[in-house]
Amino acid sequence: MNPKELWFTENYCLDARFSMRVDRQVYSSKSRFQQIDVYDTPAFGRVLVLDGCLMLTEKDEFIYHEMIVHPAMAVRPDIKKVLVIGGGDGGCVRELVKYPTIEQIDLCEIDREVIKVSREFLPQTSARMDDIRVELHIADGLKFVRQQKNAYDLIIVDSTDPFGPGEGLFTREFYGNCLSALTENGILVNQHESPYYPGDALACQRAHRQLSAVFGDAYVYQAHIPTYPSGHWLFGFASKSGQDPRVFDGDAWDALGLKTRYYNTALHKGSFALPNYVLELLKNAEGMGY
Ligand code: AG3
C-alpha cells in the first residue's frame, strides 16, 4: 500500500476489517454524543462514519433505506403517521415522502450535529428533510417514545449499533414503550444488525429476543448491503396485531408506481426467507436468558 494513500478502515472483529480508499476527509468533529466523520471515496462516493462505524455511503445507502421503509408500507398502505427514531441523515424520510398518503413524519434524532452535517454534506440522503410533513425532534428516542401513546401507525428505528447513543434502542423497555406508542395495527421496523461476525450476531440475537418478548411474533428479513459488516444485514418487523408481513397485496404496491432501485414486491417476499444458520441463531435467541 502506498504510504501516502489515505484509507478508512472499520474493524469487524479482532481478525477481520474492511477498508476503502479515501480521496479526502470532508468533515471531522466530535459532537456531544459521538465522533462524526465524512469522507469522499472513489469506490463508494461520500460516506458518513459515526464513532468509527460506517453509517452510509452514497453508492449503497438506497438498499438500506428502501428496505427499512417499503416492506412495512406495502403491508399497510394506510399508514399515515410515522415516527423515525435516529435517521438524522434523512434517508428514511426520503423514502417515506414518496407516499402521498403519509400525513405526518416525526423524526427523533438525539444528535443535532448529524442532521446539520447530513444537510451540508449528504444532499442525496437529506434532500427531503424539508418536506412539509416532516417535524424534527432533537431528543433521546428512549425518552421521546415514552411520552407517546397510541400515536403512530409505524415506528422505524434507524439507529446506530447497540453501543453508545444507540444502546437504549435495543432494550425491552424501549420496545415496550414503542408498543404503547403504536396505534391498533401499528408496525415497528428496526435495523437488526448482521448475523455474521460473532459480536454482531450476538447483538442480533439480543434485539430479536427483546422484540419477540414484547411483541409476541417478531419477523426478520434481510438485505445485501455491501458496506455494512459482512454485507449481510437484517431488519426486524413486529406489529401490534401480529400481522404476517409476507402476506400483502403486491399488485396494490406496484400500482403506486414508486421508483425504487432495490425493493420490489417479489424481493419483499423473498427477503423473509432466511438461511438456516440465521434461523438457528434467531431460534436460539428466543431461549436466551436475558
Ligand atoms: N444505521 C445502521 C448502521 C449500522 C452499521 N454498523 C456498522 N457499520 N458497524 C444506519 C443509519 C443510516 N440511516
Q: Which cell numbers hold the place of 2?
A: 502506498
Ligand 1: which of 20, 128, 161 to mutate, most ligand atoms within 8 Å of CB? 161
Q: Which of ligand 1's atoms lies nearest the C-alpha of 91?
A: 13
Closest C-alpha residue for ligand 1 atom 13: 87
207 close to ligand 1 (CB < 6 Angstrom)? no
| pLDDT (mean) for 240-261 | 97
Q: How far is the CA of 55 from the centre of ligand 1 (A)?
A: 4
Please, are residues 86 and 157 in contact by the beta-carbon 8 Å criterion? Answer: yes
Domains and their CATH numbers in the chain? 6-57 (2.30.140.10), 61-286 (3.40.50.150)
- Ligand 1 binding pocket includes 66 (Cβ within 6 Å): no
Nearest atom in ligand 1 to the alpha carbon of residue 56 is: 12
| pLDDT tens digits, 145-170 | 999 999 999 999 999 988 888 888 98
Question: Mean pLDDT over all residues of the chain?
Answer: 96
Indicate whether residue 87 lines ligand 1 (CB < 6 A): yes
Query: Catalytic positions, please?
Result: 158
Ligand 1 center from residue 159 Cα (angstroms): 7
Has residue 290 got a pLDDT over 60?
no
In the chain, % of residues over pLDDT 90 = 93
Q: pLDDT tens digit string along 1-45?
A: 677 899 999 999 999 999 999 999 999 999 999 999 999 999 999
What's this model's pTM, rounded to 2 decimal places?
Answer: 0.97
Q: What is the mean pLDDT of residues 55-84?
A: 98
Atom number of ligand 1 nearest to Cα 68: 13
DSSP output for 218-281: EEEEEEE-TTSGGGEEEEEEEETT---TT---HHHHHHT----SS--HHHHHHHT---HHHHHH
For residue 248, pLDDT over 50 is answered with yes
What is the Å distance from ligand 1's center to 255 Cα? 31
User: Is residue 53 lining ligand 1, measured as CB closer than 6 Å?
Assistant: yes
**Ligand 1 close to Cβ of residue 56 (< 6 A):** yes
Q: Measured between alpha carbons, how far is 172 from 176 in angstroms, rounded to an integer?
A: 6
* CA 191 to ligand 1: nearest atom: 2
The band of 224, judged by pLDDT with boundaries at 50, 70 and 90, is very high
Q: What is the mean pLDDT of residues 43-48?
A: 98
Please tell me the residue having the least CA distance from ligand 1 atom 7: 53
Kindly state if the Cβ of 91 falls inside 6 Å of ligand 1: yes
- For residues 133-143, give the mean pLDDT: 97
How high is the pLDDT of residue 78? 97
Extract the C-alpha cell encoding 197. Answer: 461476525
Residue of the nearest CA to atom 10 in ligand 1? Answer: 55
Interatomic CA distance for residues 39 and 22, integer angstroms: 6
Give the relative orientation of helices 198-215 and 276-286 as an angle to the nearest 10 degrees.
60
> Looking at the predicted structure, is the pLDDT value of residue 246 above 90?
yes
> How do residues 100-136 score in pLDDT, each as one tens digit?
999 999 999 999 999 999 999 999 999 999 999 999 9
Query: How far is 61 from 45, CA to CA, in rounded Å?
Result: 11
Q: How far apart, in Å, are the Cα atoms of 16 and each of 43, 50, 148, 198, 222?
A: 20, 19, 41, 11, 22
Question: Which whole number is the average pLDDT over 195-222?
Answer: 95
Ligand 1 centroid distance, CA of 134 (Å):
22
pLDDT of residue 164: 82
Q: Considering only CA atoms, which residue is closest to atom 5 of ligand 1?
A: 55
Q: Which of 20, 228, 232 to mutate to test the pocket of ligand 1 (most atoms within 8 A of CB)?
A: 228
